[in-house]
Structure 1
């Protein structure tokens, strides 16, 4: 029989963690979305450094990074997208030529928006190395459409918003057979015939974005959409949509037996009525709906529309002052797959609901309820009780809310992001000693939180990564020290206009002879 190891040999043994395959480590790191976390992990070991280099897919090139661009392109061989930040004081053609000299087989997206000149020569060289580019963003530039058509025939997405486009777009539209998404917002010298040509010739077009394009009429948009009945996403924002436009959409839907539209944005638009939008929604299976600041919208409309939106994931209803708790209840009850609700600047809280009227919605993760003057603790607490998987809530400037915000922390055990800016003065009297290990982002700006209360918050929310304390006039350097001591993962703390903090910090430096 083997003898047990001696105590001395046991003390000398060390546990060696099992060796995980590279694929497992890469899969773990891909779930980390915060770039600060990835950069920290890359310093742990050469192996981790190598993994993170391989999974890094996006590079934003600012003027300060230009001297290091070759090193960065060598470090990240699997980049899928590159963005050149606005107003780089350098030769953009030369930068694109430099990028084209590297082997980046996965690169499929390029953003050259906000550049003073359109880099025609650089794009020609770039296209020789990356002819299969799928996405090109050139907003706020003067794009050469003929060159784009010649260089990148495989484009699936193009953004030419807020640019000067010539009326003759037929050549571009004819060449981009694979185009799936087109953003023409705010374009100049572009008329109904141009948008019609795009929809007629771009046979794969599925998403169209047109904001504030005065040279294109609503009837023109409606006629164009009839040429492309497989549209899945439509984002149209004008001061006046007109009945003709809604009618064109509805007729298209009826003619096709069901328009495959999945996303519809009509925020800030007017001129249409409930009958038009309900007729359209009866023929669609929407997952995303934006009806912000819609003149006719009230609780009765939302209740009826919610019955047509069984597969809805995101709804935006902000700026509709006629909407109350009845609208929110209808969405949570009739849209079981809803994940995000935006109801800022409404009348939430004005129509009190009984607790037994609410239904549990396990899919809801994002609630934007800022600037609701009627919203109070009771309403927020009831919402927290039926949203077990809530990950983010925004209660900015909801003056009547105090204890309700603390109830969210206690009841929603998956909460990661809270915005409590401008909340009531008595918010922190309800603080108790409990842990919230999931909270990563917290905004307490413009509140009257003290050092003692901040210390308690930092002990409870000890995994905070971002903390905003702007204009918190009672905070001093002592309170900030407690946060830094308790929140070991903190990556960002904002202290703009915290006068007491600055005074105590300067006095501390002075007492130590640093001033």
Structure 2
């Protein structure tokens, strides 16, 4: 029998079809929705490990990764993008880091982000440019940049992000030098630049005739400037946030017949309904519209404008004059809408009958945080109208109970992310009673909720595929509740326990050993025990973060003021 079994085994191995690596890569891409999903595949075999290594294209460099960086750069040869976050997460020498990266062979690298650095790394960028002169995207936001050096080092740039955080006289000259030297620019983001002159934009438009995306923050949008912008016949994305712009300027922009797909007038002043309606009548193919901070907007305006936006995918609105009438009019009149952001509005103020609602299967993302009128009835209406919802933000919706969340879980079978911080704080007597599976939920924010160990245990059993869980300020949670989460959620990668006063730091060691999938833990409080074992946790693949005691006191004091 053993001999026969062995022969059958060899027969099946011989008959097993061989798939080219390209086929396996295609299969992996279809099976995974996030780079983290590749981790389990990489453990199957050395062959799968080599394939998944080739599929990782983005790398973020934090302090804990620095000792491993050479190994990571050798392991992932197809990196296309490297991000170095600000001083909170990276405290090393940015010049030395860029020089180190430049010593490796990364033929596919075309994007670099070094935002929020304390100093502009001129030396490091020069060395980096010698190895990667064909870099196409550079993000150096939130620092004082040397635009002349950038133009010299990276003549093939197609995308650049720059933020001017303070006034200095040479800004306008630097922008002109940048745009004169970078003829291939297609995407330009100049945020925080209240001091830029029209002449800089004129030079930009004259030199970068292939410009597709332009973000300019602040200033006065004149008719002359509009005349320059409409000369950019490839312009599909225009952000003029926090600017002064008149109805005449908007009408002139409409007459330019630009192929705009994305428009942001967030925080803009000086225009009225007639100006924006004239523009939207001409921009028939607009897909993304941001009118946050527009003071004159009310339900009547939004209802009329929604009739002009048949191709809209994303809309962002704000203001207490907007209610359920605006929300459901968008869902009804914009059949392709996928994302609606109405933070700090009055959704929930007007009751709508069910027979007035139209199901929109395209809506996937709803941002409804800080809606003081939103209640359970409104949330239940949303659950009925948006059956394919994947993400909802109900942070600081104090009149929404936990029972409404259960309705969302039942009705929206594709829900993946829920933001529920400070949910129903005016209805603290309600409790989660979920007794059904929610296998799609991956990210859950329950911070500042009056939630018990029994409730979090029920949630972890139902939402067993959770990868990220935020329990900050959940003062009723103890180590027992946390252990239930770690035991039940076998794919958990991040858990945040800031200010969980009844959870001891001793549990951190147990979590790291009990759940190998954990990659980040925000400890409940700072202690010498955590600090001393940080390297030990890193060797197990988990980064443990904590708030220093001094900062902890400041944050707790400020939270008590603003909550």
- Give the shorter-chain TM-score range: 0.7 to 0.9
Query: Alignment partner of 2:326: what SS?
Result: helix
Unaligned runs of 5+ in 2: 511-528, 530-563
Shift of 1:58: 1.4
Residue 108 of structure 2 corresponds to: 106
Residue 385 of structure 2 corresponds to: 386
| 1:154–1:178 Cα contact (<8 Å) kept | yes
Residue 241 of structure 1 corresponds to: 244
- Cα 1:90–1:398 shift into 2, 3 Å: closer
**Structure-1 separation of matches of 2:52 and 2:149:** 36
- Cα 1:203–1:48 shift into 2, 3 Å: same
| 1:465–1:489 Cα contact (<8 Å) kept | yes
**Structure-1 separation of matches of 2:442 and 2:184:** 41
- Cα 1:188–1:309 shift into 2, 3 Å: closer
| 1:114–1:140 Cα contact (<8 Å) kept | yes
Shift of 1:270: 2.0
Query: Alignment partner of 2:99: what SS?
Result: helix
**Structure-1 separation of matches of 2:421 and 2:341:** 17
Residue 412 of structure 1 corresponds to: 412
**Structure-2 separation of matches of 1:64 and 1:494:** 18
Please say if 1:181 is aligned against 2:187: yes
Residue 201 of structure 2 corresponds to: 195
Residue 253 of structure 1 corresponds to: 254
**Structure-2 separation of matches of 1:97 and 1:132:** 16
**Structure-2 separation of matches of 1:309 and 1:497:** 45
Residue 512 of structure 1 corresponds to: none
**Structure-2 separation of matches of 1:360 and 1:265:** 27
Cα RMSD for the two superposed structures: 2.8
Please say if 1:230 is aligned against 2:262: no
| 1:229–1:252 Cα contact (<8 Å) kept | no
Q: 1:501 aligns with which of 484, 496, 503?
A: 503
| 1:347–1:372 Cα contact (<8 Å) kept | yes
Instruction: Report Cα offsets for 1:350-375 as digits up to 9, x if no partner.
Output: 11111011111111000111121222
Shift of 1:426: 5.2
**Structure-1 separation of matches of 2:239 and 2:394:** 27
Query: Alignment partner of 1:500: what SS?
Result: coil
Query: Alignment partner of 1:167: what SS?
Result: helix
- Cα 1:95–1:466 shift into 2, 3 Å: closer
**Structure-1 separation of matches of 2:124 and 2:503:** 50
**Structure-1 separation of matches of 2:352 and 2:171:** 55
- Cα 1:493–1:65 shift into 2, 3 Å: closer
Shift of 1:323: 0.8
**Structure-2 separation of matches of 1:217 and 1:282:** 21
Instruction: Report Cα offsets for 1:391-419 as digits up to 9, x if no partner.
Output: 01111222222222110000111111112
Provide TM-score, normalisation by structure 2: 0.81
Correspondences of 1:27-38 after superposition (within 5 Å): 27-30=26-29, 32-38=32-38
- Cα 1:427–1:37 shift into 2, 3 Å: farther
- Cα 1:204–1:390 shift into 2, 3 Å: same
Q: 1:166 aligns with which of 157, 166, 171?
A: 171
- Cα 1:188–1:303 shift into 2, 3 Å: closer
Q: 1:119 aligns with which of 118, 121, 133?
A: 121
